Structure 1
Amino acid sequence: MPEAFVATLAAYRRCAVFNPWGERDPQNDRDLDGPLVRRRQLLAYLQERIGAARILLVAEAIGYQGGHFSGIPMTSERLLLGGLQHKDIFPADVFRRAPQRTSSPKIKPEGFTEPTATIVWGLLKSLGIDPRSVVLWNAFPWHPYQLQKGLLSNRTPSDEELVDGHGVLRLLLSLGGFKTLVAVGRKSAIQLAGLGLDAAEVRHPANGGAGKFREQMSGILRGL
């Protein structure tokens, strides 16, 4: 059940890793309810997709501009707050319940926005793909950050951390019954291959890869 899955996610703890569903960001969260709100939002997202979604799209790890505050992988808080409607991306594309912000408005009045999230959601919408036919996820489903820079930073997860994410990924696969797995970036592809999973690989949209990502993903999605 998605409830047990989210509870498993929320229980994880590791140094220099922020757990959006189990921990409060003491410097940047709006109030004490941040983890609870993020759990509710992830649960709503999954409940609308588990059993219906055909595609699992797996990137590397959550970032501070995305799931750290939204609670949804590859989804920014600005999207949930309606700040990307000019790009034809709406909060209801993510889930139907009323979203809540968890970041302090003093830091980013309109909420954080993540370029990768905007590219991924924008592609789904431009191709006319039902957002509920796709689940967005991460090989390491929590937020690794740099201790010296604080919670508003990102870093690459270690090999040991990626192994921690394998069990969660297997749980999600058992829940979802997905027909197509797509690895976003080489590191995610290596993780999925190491688990014996057959996945298509696409270029990560960061660092100049947006055009190639759109081209490769369009070919996969149109072929389904």
Structure 2
Amino acid sequence: MDGFFQSLKIVKLDNVFNPWFCQDKENDIDSGSPAIRLSQLRQYLLERQDAKYLLVGEALGYQGGHFTGIAMMSERILLGKMRHKSIMPRHVFSGIEPRRTSMPSVKKDGFTEPTATIVWERLITSGFDMRDFIIWNAFPWHPYKPEIGILSNRTPSEIEFEKGKPAMLELLKSVNVSKIIAVGEKSRVQLREMDIDALMVRHPANGGASKFREQIIQAIKK
């Protein structure tokens, strides 16, 4: 997957954080944090070489992939603090030890991301093997609002979405999924522009959790 990881590295954009190749000097534990996130993404994908489904969201968020390196994945899941939701670190990967990269002084128990919790809990409690799923984003990096700071989220611009397309295409060259599911309208639009056929389900955010839980099962079984 060298081409895929290279596509993540070469793009540099204003007010966009690259968690695998850049350090968040305000909030990372130390300068080794990007390497940890890159290692976790590599292991996550390595354990999904035979994945059947690709779920595509919009962009990384500061509570999720910013500090884990994995789309729709929070530090609390990796640290085993979401067991009450039936989500275990081993569901994500088992070949290496999961690690946080945010300083405990920023968030004592690590960041949690509502979307990640909803998505993983629904799939796990429905009896699916999480190695059958790769979760990615139409825009692979973390866009933030400069007036608020790096611990914020925003919707990528059309120009930014364009910059993320090579990474998506490189990922698809490296996997052999049988079904692609867009999580939300934004990701469906981007996939269409790349002539990628995908089903769409409601994004869990902004009151969409119930619809997502219903539609994701329908989309997988369709």
Q: TM-score, normalised by structure 1?
A: 0.96
Kindly report which structure 2 residues correspond to 1:129-168, keeping only aligned pairs within 5 A, or say none: 129-168=128-167
| CA offset digits 1:40-68 (Å, max 9, x no partner) | 00000010112x00100000000000000
| CA offset digits 1:56-99 (Å, max 9, x no partner) | 00000000000000000000011001110111101111111111
Given that 2:55 and 2:181 are in contact with CA atoms closer than 8 Å, whether structure 1 keeps it comes out as yes
Kindly report which structure 2 residues correspond to 1:99-110, keeping only aligned pairs within 5 A, or say none: 99-110=98-109
Aligned partner of residue 200 in structure 2, secondary structure: strand
Superposition deviation, residue 122 in structure 1? 0.4
Superposition deviation, residue 13 in structure 1? 1.3
Of 54, 64, 68, 1:70 maps to 68
| CA offset digits 1:80-122 (Å, max 9, x no partner) | 0111011110111111111111000001111000000000000
> Sequence identity, in percent?
51
Aligned-residue Cα RMSD (Å) equals 1.0
Given that 2:56 and 2:182 are in contact with CA atoms closer than 8 Å, whether structure 1 keeps it comes out as yes
Aligned partner of residue 164 in structure 2, secondary structure: helix
Counterpart of 2:88 in structure 1: which amino acid?
F
Q: Distance in 2 between matches of 1:182 and 1:42?
A: 20
Kindly report which structure 2 residues correspond to 1:193-212, keeping only aligned pairs within 5 A, or say none: 193-212=192-211
Q: Distance in 1 between matches of 2:11 and 2:23?
A: 13
Given that 2:17 and 2:142 are in contact with CA atoms closer than 8 Å, whether structure 1 keeps it comes out as yes
Contiguous gaps of at least 5 residues in structure 2: none
Counterpart of 1:53 in structure 2: which amino acid?
A
Counterpart of 1:98 in structure 2: which amino acid?
E
Q: Distance in 2 between matches of 1:7 and 1:94?
A: 23
Superposition deviation, residue 7 in structure 1? 3.8
Counterpart of 1:145 in structure 2: which amino acid?
Y
Superposition deviation, residue 221 in structure 1? 2.2
- Runs of 4 or more consecutive aligned structure 1 residues displaced over 2 Å after TM superposition: 3-8
Whether 2:220 is the aligned partner of 1:221: answer: yes
